[in-house]
Amino acid sequence: MTENVPNRSENEVPIEETKGETVVKTEPPKPVKKQVDRRSIFSWMGLAWLSFTAATLGMAAAIGRFFFPNVLFEPPLTFKAGYPEDYIIGAVDERFKESFGVWLVRNSEGIFALSTVCTHLGCTPNWLGAEAKFKCPCHGSGFYKTGINFEGPAPRPLERYMISYAEDGQILVDKNRKFQYEKGQWKDPDSFLKV
């Protein structure tokens, strides 16, 4: 014979049977909600901790930038440029154009150091060997090999820098001193190195 057992939920547990009746005691439900609450509290705490850490790191980075700001490293204003025999008579030497902003030009008498800054608005001209001139790409100013301007809006010639011999016989260029043609400064012996 099969006994009829009523359907019970999992929280219902029979504890006694009287006169064929089953007395059922219901267990209190498990504290599911409390577990969920605890879990969500932990996740909120984690989130708050993450936010706090991120904010602290951001502040530390800002303070770091305050104490160690971006520094623009300028090339030195004085540099050695090798020996006179390294330069060809009649040529414009571009080896120091990028690194120091200087062209070294040798003629039959010596060498001079020409600034690569256009006297119009400061762009960097290009040396066009085939046309024997410096040509500024910004507004078209043109300069002869000597640095004298002859076309475009540039109001005056390119500037020259001080040039001399270092103790070891190398050419020494000093950008701390400039020489301007229109002021008669190209006659200064320090603006030209006799070779």
Query: How many residues lie near ligand FES (CB under 6 A)?
Result: 13
> Considering Cα of 182, then 81, then 116, then 78, what sign does the dihedral take?
negative
Q: Give the integer Cα–Cα distance in Å for 154 and 117.
A: 11
Footprint on residues 152-191 left by ligand FES (CB under 6 A): 152-154
List the 133-135 sheet strands across, edge first.
126-128, 133-135, 142-143, 149-151
Binding status of residue 104 toward ligand FES by CB under 6 A:
no
User: What mask, x for binding ligand FES by CB under 6 A, covers residues 129 to 148?
Assistant: -------x-xxxx-------
Q: How would DSSP label each residue in 181-192?
A: GGGTGGGSGGG-
Binding status of residue 195 toward ligand FES by CB under 6 A:
no
Least Å distance, CB 91 to ligand FES, is: 23
Q: Which stretch binds ligand FES (CB under 6 A): 66-74, 92-100, 118-126, 177-185?
A: 118-126
| Residue among 21, 22, 33, 25 nearest 9 (CA) | 25
Residue nearer to ligand FES on the CB measure, 98 or 151: 151
